[in-house]
Structure 1
Amino acid sequence: MTASILITLCAFFVAGVSGVYTDGVSVSVNEGESVTLHTDVTTDQQEKISWYFNDIKLAEITGDLSKICTDVLCDGRFRNRLKLDNKDGSLTIKDNRPTDTGVYKLKITKNSRDLEKIFIVFVHSFFSTNTEGESAFVIEGDSVTLYTDVKTNQQEKIRWYFNDTRIAQISGDLSDTCTDVQCNEGTERFRDRLKLDHQTGSLTIRDPASGLYRLRISSSNTKTEKIFIVAVYDVSAAERDEMKRKSVKEGESVTLDPGVVKNPNYLMRWYFNDICIAVVNGNQSKIYTDDQCDERLRDRLKLNNQTGSLNITNITNTDSGDYKLKISSSRFSIMRSFTVTVSGEYHLFIQCMFPFILEYSSIFFGPLNEKVD
């Protein structure tokens, strides 16, 4: 039986390898139904198409069909339930189960260029109650915070799981709290990368892994479960540096690009050295003139309402530092960091060529590098 499924394009379009923009597709399907994940391409002897589930390869096909495999490394999870289309590489998963919920990645390699597409699949169980699902798309190096939307009390116990492995736990009276290795000996995946909010039980993951994160809240009267799927785009170190590290000379302009297409339902905040300087909320944007950065960035910030990108004009040395972008929804927030380095090579060159001019200027106007109070 093939489901009539709901497919929605998610909010984030992230630059993939070689600068190819890719999209995330969210799919909802009921237990026992089938779903097909489409590549939207036609094979032509040149490309290799690979499918992954939570970063484990489960299917691959080459254009000339010389290499076709399905369910090679999944320990039988999808045995006899996968079908690969030889014409376009699309993948059909039959008889879906709740354990099939997760991140499916499609990678198409052709002429040394890679295109990546991510599918988020939610499989709804017949027996599940009070279960919600949410997906977040991040880039390697980001931090993501998953919200519980509760405040802990003396009666509640909050547990976090990653692909069915407990990674964090907290009780209302804080008598039973653990993260990662403390929760399960031998679990090293998230060592020193988890932070648990003792007031709400919300979980912050630095440099998260793709997969299913499950929240379970239990008290004497109720049990609640929420599902979060985090999809991490594979971006090369060189591309991350190009996006997140900017080097400019004084007097030039620089643009910090979020790397996503803005979701009108999300709130985007820009920070400079932990001071909020700009906000985009829906189609509205606001440039802050906080007292601490009033003089430093006055009239030199421009915000793109469509993309959320931040442009800083007429750069000065005092603009060097750490810039952060916080993308927030009601269920999670993503923190992305940028570094701007401003060099004064231009002024050093002038000083070498015309020292007498600088000396003359300093006599009448004072030192050129003197800060303005």
Structure 2
Amino acid sequence: MYLSQLTLSNFRNYKQLTLPLGSGLFLFHGENAQGKTNLLEAVGMLATATSFHASNDREVVGWLAPEHIAHLNGLVQRNQDEVRIEIAVADPTPPQFEAVSSVTLPTNMPRKRYKVNGVPRRTMDVIGQVKVVLFAPTDLHLVDGSPEERRRFLDQALCQLYPRYSQALVKYRKVVTQRSALLKQVRENQESPGMLDYLDEQLTLLAQLITYERQRMLQALNEAANGFQQSISGGREQLQIAYRPSLKLDESWGLSELQPQYLRQLREVRRKEIQQGVCSLGPHRDDLEFIVNGVNMLTYGSRGQQRTAALAAKLAELGYMRKSTGDEPILLLDDVFSELDHFRREYLLCQVAKHQQVLLTATDLTGFPSSIVEQAHIYQVRNGDITADR
């Protein structure tokens, strides 16, 4: 799988861009704040329908966009076919500049619109049409970052692979919000505790799928990640990525057994949840633990060990997505090499150079082996303009 053409209009600092691409390694270099991350952000958005870089998707709309709308268009070559993905993102409240036109968007206008091969589609129909694995400097803090970051690591891959997972996750988050509000109402004697029964049923039904797929993914990651950890550490380290759900789980439980067990545990903590006014059990409270040679890396790992474990996990994710689909995901590497020491940088380059399409950003070409530079398609990024070095 590879992106053969990317077209952007009023996306971040790209007023107009048409970039032909193909298989192989593409290296985009330039100073900071020139648009390198924005470029990868656009590719990631074609795959996941959301931005990995913005707190709100409307931030991707250029400040001076005449109609307050950004357009993304990607042509993707897959094993069996070709697919064109189009996304329009509207910003209803742009900054007020004199150069901005006075266009006012209708209040009922959707903030994002999608097309697949020219046909209007829903968000769920777009996610996973093209698959990407992103490796950014924040991913190096996968081990020592927040539980939310580690859950996102799983969810970003699983949403691209399985539409049903993406649908379940969206619905689950809505039910958690509704249930938390109801718990507060019950605490204030505004609603009966029996009103929780329906939401408990919905919550556990969705949670069983999310939990099951996360467990399956982690089993596959562990088969590959330990090999990467051993290679990077010279055989000195063994890595295990452990699932730490808020529920009490038994590995012998199948998909059908998860819901009744979750329901039982919810009933046991209902009184406490009402007192606190929050949902305390479920996939939204899950975590991962990275264990090297029996030691929890979050608490006791050195910086080098933590980064090695994060690197091994991301490489394992790449292999998992390839094995799950039979197609090679596009690999996005956003200025991650400046955060790695020489040995880890060399190892990562050797691993990624053989993939079908790799889009890599860096501030300069210093530190890249000549063998990598010679095989790469090299572009300079400057203030939203991209020019080929050769």
Q: Calculate the TM-score normalised by the size of structure 1.
A: 0.23
Name which structure has the greater RCO, CA cutoff 8 Å, separation 6+: 2
**Rg comparison, structure with higher value:** 1
Q: Calculate the TM-score normalised by the size of structure 2.
A: 0.22
More strand by share: 1
More helix by share: 2
